[in-house]
Amino acid sequence: MSTTIEYVRFACADPERLTAHRAKLITLLRERYGSDFLGAHLARYEDGSLLDLILWASPEAAARAAEEMPADPAAGEFFSLIGEVHEMRHAEVLHSAQP
């Protein structure tokens, strides 16, 4: 297995509301995917679009979550706030460094 980054850049009319629903989404990811879910970051670009960067233990876990989560009623409040998805990709992590 290789660690995988899920990269999603999207539009959102109400980033503050989306952020408020994010804690519930993160809890859900931890519950559903356990040790396959390694972490997540939500960021805003200068143009106002958002970046969701999620770290998964494997490409299989990333693919499974990408397929399951958008249609999951428990995550509906979060996903209902996402507008146009500009890009969504998965990438294998080749090297990591921490302070």
Dump pLDDT digits (tens) for 24-57: 999 999 999 999 999 999 999 999 999 999 999 9
Contact predicate 82/17, CB 8 Å: no
* pLDDT tens digits, one per residue of 46-88: 999 999 999 999 999 999 999 999 999 999 999 999 999 999 9
State which CATH number among 3.40.220.10, 3.40.1390.10, 3.30.70.100, 3.60.70.12 fits the domain covering 4-92: 3.30.70.100
Please give the C-alpha separations between residue 82 and each of 16, 37, 79, in angstroms, as whole numbers: 12, 21, 5
Q: Which pTM does this prediction carry?
A: 0.91
